[in-house]
A = this chain, B = another copy of it.
Amino acid sequence: MTDSTDTLRRGRPGYDQRGILEVAVAAFNEHGYDATSIGMLAARLGLSKSAIYHHVASKEELLALALDEALDGLEGVLRSPEATTGSAADRLEAVLRGAVLVLAERLPYVTLLLRVRGNTDVERAALQRRRAFDRAVARLVAEAQAEGAVRADAEAAVVARLLFGMINSLTEWYAPSGPTTPEHLADTIVALALTR
């Protein structure tokens, strides 16, 4: 066991990789990924840069971990039992609800994901996963339209984008400490999307 692995296991007082990731994501969202340096993160954390490098190999690894957090959550929704059994309407409802909950629980991570423009390999890989997610939702919208369960008769990909426009707007205005629960938001979005 190397010294650095040993340090990683025991952890620095106050911060493990997860704690560093949370501070990094807040900084990426506030200043932009490009404008954030490991030095800035070290100052925010009250750690030395080398202490950070005990936990992550690079700033890009922090970005990859953060985008995984958002994408794993959204892809998990698509694979959930509720989203893979029953009518298309039931499955679409499960995806819309699940996505709202993921956004509410992982708000800074999804906020970061939505800002990704594909400037690096890590960002391009994330965009590719996001597009695959969007295509899966569009297929589900098409099936639900065929059942007569979606109100709008526009192209499924357009309806899917509009429905996720509602959901993604939560990153702009949803306050976890506010009076509106994620479950209530999900009810509202489902009421707008589906004929039931």
- Residues of chain A touching chain B, judged by Cβ–Cβ distance below 8 Å, are 32, 114, 151-155, 158-159, 161-170, 172-173, 180, 184-185, 187-189, 191-193
Within the assembled complex, what's the spacing in Å between the Cα atoms of A167 and B173?
Answer: 15
Stoichiometry, copies per complex = 2
Closest residue of B by beta carbon distance from A193: B192
State whether B164 touches A169 (Cβ < 8 A).
Answer: yes
Are B154 and A187 in contact (CB-based, < 8 A)?
yes
A192 to B167, CA, bound (A): 14
Cα–Cα, bound, A164→B163 (Å): 11
CB pair A152 B191 closer than 8 Å: yes
Q: Quick one: which of B32, B158, B169, B187 contacts A188, CB cutoff 8 A?
A: B158
Query: How far apart are the CA atoms of A185 and B157 in the complex, in Å?
Result: 12
Contact indicator A162/B169 (Cβ below 8 Å)? yes
Residues of B within 8 A of A168 (CB): 165, 169
Q: Are B158 and A180 in contact (CB under 8 A)?
A: yes
A154: chain B residues at CB < 8 Å are 180, 184-185, 187-188, 191
* Interchain Cβ contacts under 8 Å between A and B, 23 examples: A32-B32, A151-B151, A151-B191, A151-B192, A152-B188, A152-B191, A153-B191, A154-B180, A154-B184, A154-B187, A158-B185, A161-B169, A161-B173, A162-B166, A162-B188, A162-B189, A163-B166, A165-B165, A165-B166, A165-B169, A165-B172, A166-B169, A168-B169
CB contacts (< 8 Å) of A152 on chain B: these are 188, 191-192
Given contacts A151-B151, A153-B191, A161-B169, 4 further A-B contacts (CB under 8 A): A154-B180, A154-B188, A165-B168, A166-B166
Q: Please, how many angstroms separate the alpha-carbon atoms of A154 and B170 in the complex? A: 15
